[in-house]
Every structure is written in C-alpha cells, then in structure tokens.
Amino acid sequence: MAPTFAAAPSSSVCGACVPAACHFEGRSTVAAARFLRNRVEAKRRSAAAWPLKAGLWDSLRSGFVKNNNSTQTVELPSTPLEVEEPVPEELVLLDRTLPDGSTEQIIFSSAGDVDIYDLEALCDKVGWPRRPLSKIAASLRNSYLVATLHSVIRYSDAGIGITCTRSYLTEGDEKKQLIGMARATSDHAFNATIWDVLVDPSYQGQGLGKALMEKVIRTLLQRDINNITLFADNKVIDFYKNLGFEVDPQGIKGMFWYPKL
C-alpha cells in the first residue's frame, strides 16, 4: 500500500492553520493573559508549520511507485511538460487545366480555415438541414482537427494567351471555394471521433472524399492518436469500410441518449 498522509485538523479559535496540539487548557476559563500568550505561540507554531508543509508537499510531488518488494521514489519533472502545437499542413491534391484554359488546384489543409457561411452553403448543396451558425462556429472552435478541401481556380489571361501566376493576379482573377470538410474531436491522447464529412456533389466521384479521409486519419496517427471512430449512415458504410473502418468491432455498439420531449 502506498504511504498515506493526513493533515492534522486546525484550530478555529487560533485563527491560523496550526496542528490540533495547539489548543487552550481550560477552554471555558482561560485567562486573558494566557489567551494572548497562546495566540503569540500559535502564530509562532504556524510560521514553523508552513516550512514543514512545504517540505511535505515537495516529498509528495516526487511521487511513489510500489512494487512487490519495496517502495521506490520516482522523481517527476520539475517543470510541466510542454505540449507542442500541431503544425498545420497544406498540400495540393490535384492540379489540372480546365477547358477554358484556366487552372484549378484542389488544396487540402488542416489549418481549420473555414468560413461558416461557406460551410453553410456547402451543407445546403449536400442536403443537410441547416443548423444555427453560432453552434457551427462553436463546433469548429472546439474541434481538435478541422480539415478542408478548397478549389482554387486561376483564370487565364486571354490577352496574351497564358495562364496568370499568383504574383500577377488582381482581384477577380482567382476564385477560392470550399468544396469539402471533415473535423474531429479528441481527448488529445488516445481517442478521436470524426464528424461532418462532406464533399460538394459536383466534386464527388473523383476520389476527393477518400483523399480527405486518408489525410485526416494520417494526421491523427501522426499525433499519436490510434483509436479513431465515426458515425456513418447506411449508404456510406462501404465507403468507410474501404478506408479500414469496422462496423461494431468485437460486438461493440454505439449507444445514444436523446431527450424525451
């Protein structure tokens, strides 16, 4: 059994946190002089007790590990461990030339760059019911990971017949559109759950949903989170199975609680 420590009860009369041994003899008939002397003594003992308490907490802070034979003291770090902030990732998944000569890039990003009005428009396209914008913003803000797909179209310069580069673009020469998103919540250590996976219908069937999910999974694994779950409609179960997800693994069932109105 690991050693236990109990703090002695304090004396409410002394007005200071001191051991219970600091009490008054003859509590009902204490002379004023003795009362004052005991108050001075209490303060002295209290001052002496604080270094003892500090030493006690220092010893507790070092920790104890119990094995079968002896108790071994394990030193904890003197300073809190710093948690590194994940570095956002951005990469081009697809780069192609459109029939009108403009170029389009499909860009994946884990930086969480989402405009809630763009997200609402994307949800409308896939037929999701509308939700309060304040709650959408809160869900994004409180997510562990928000991944996006953006289409960036750079229009050609018809005057010289070449495609504009970013350095020569003026307002209106480039169009950026949110075409996909997925987010994940997590305990930042063991588990993550993926939510709100959606891709613009006009971009479906091109492998972008699969690429988005693979990047989300890889990002979570890189952050040492290995237990990844999600909730899927019947019509997309095969899609997630092809990504390695299992339905009810080892008989585990999802449980839901809804308010009964």
Q: Verify whether residue 144 is a known catalytic residue.
A: no
Marked catalytic residue, from 144, 155, 240, 258: 240
* Residues 152 and 174: beta-carbon distance below 8 Å: yes
Write the DSSP assignment of the chain as a string of letters.
Answer: ------PPPPBTTTTB---TT---SSTTS--HHHHHHHHHHHHHHHHHHHHHHHHHHHHHHH-EEE-SS-EEE-PPPSSPPPPPPPPP-EEEEEEEE-TTS-EEEEEEE-S----HHHHHHHHHHHTPPP--HHHHHHHHHT-SEEEEEEEEEE-EETTTTEEPPGGG--TTSEEEEEEEEEEEEE-SSSEEEEEEEEE-GGGTTSSHHHHHHHHHHHHHHHTT--EEEE---GGGHHHHHTTT--SSGGG----------
Cα 183 from chain centroid? Answer: 11
| Catalytic positions, written as ranges | 240
